[in-house]
């Protein structure tokens, strides 16, 4: 019986997705309000940074799935003391999309909610080559946006998402918290993006 139930559940989920709208979404984005417990990266992470990425999605009438790949060079730069010489953040997440039925949004923007999990890789190279963490941690993203079509095939999407690490890493000497005490390594930021949407 458990196997039958699982098979039915997979059928119910997969059938709408097989007939779903396929989308490719290259995008440009801005990261803002970033924060980290890594001492060398605190100042740079709080500034705005340009990002590039690519999303691919299968969107049904209400539910969809999405893969999102996002790259932010120089994420922990610049810092006023010029201690960080090279840095970056890359995220890869698999997401669930919840949206309004197409029949209700055929001639207007189609809003959606998105949430998921994956991995965040980040690196910080300091001028002395001493405190240079390179980590890949479990991460999450959550947010929402809207898609509007300019033609039958192409459109634009705008969304805002929160990204963060899920499992902090212990890096003695590299991380701080208020009062100067050691803290677990964490990274988080908001991302606002605009994507070209190609559907087929």
Residue 83, pLDDT score? 87
Do the domain assignments include residue 30? yes
Q: Which domain, by its residues, includes 133? A: 20-199
Q: What residue ranges in the chain does DSSP mark as E strands?
A: 21-36, 49-59, 63-73, 84-99, 110-126, 134-149, 154-165, 187-199
Tell me the pLDDT tens digit for each residue of 50-101. 999 999 999 999 999 999 999 999 999 988 888 899 999 999 999 999 999 9
Q: Please tell me the pTM assigned to this model.
A: 0.85
Confidence at residue 37, expressed as pLDDT on a 0 to 100 scale: 86
Instruction: Please count the structural domains in the chain.
Output: 1
Question: What per-residue confidence (pLDDT) applies to 17?
Answer: 57
Domain of 121, CATH number, reads 2.40.160.20
pLDDT per position as a tens digit, 126-176:
888 777 788 899 999 999 999 999 998 999 999 999 999 997 777 655 666
Token output for 1: 């019986």
Angle at alpha carbon of residue 45, lines to 44 and 48, rounded to 5°: 85
């Amino acid at each position: 019986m458990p196997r039958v139930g699982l098979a039915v559940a997979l059928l119910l989920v997969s059938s709408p997705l097989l007939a779903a709208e396929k989308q490719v979404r290259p995008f440009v984005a801005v990261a803002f309000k970033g924060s980290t417990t890594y001492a060398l990266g605190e100042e740079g992470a709080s500034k705005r940074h340009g990002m590039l990425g690519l999303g691919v999605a299968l969107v049904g009438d209400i539910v969809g799935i999405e893969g999102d790949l996002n790259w932010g060079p120089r994420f922990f730069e610049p810092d006023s003391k010029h201690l960080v010489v090279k840095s970056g953040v890359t995220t890869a997440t698999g997401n669930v999309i919840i949206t309004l039925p197409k029949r209700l949004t055929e001639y207007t923007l189609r809003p959606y909610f998105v949430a998921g999990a994956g991995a965040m890789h980040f690196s910080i190279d300091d001028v002395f080559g001493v405190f240079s963490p390179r980590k890949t941690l479990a991460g999450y993203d959550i947010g929402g946006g809207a898609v509007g079509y300019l033609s039958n095939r192409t459109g634009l999407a705008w969304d805002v998402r929160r990204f963060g690490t899920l499992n902090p890493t212990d890096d003695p000497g590299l991380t701080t918290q208020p009062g100067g005490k050691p803290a677990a390594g964490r990274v988080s930021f908001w991302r606002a993006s605009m994507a070209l949407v190609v559907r087929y």
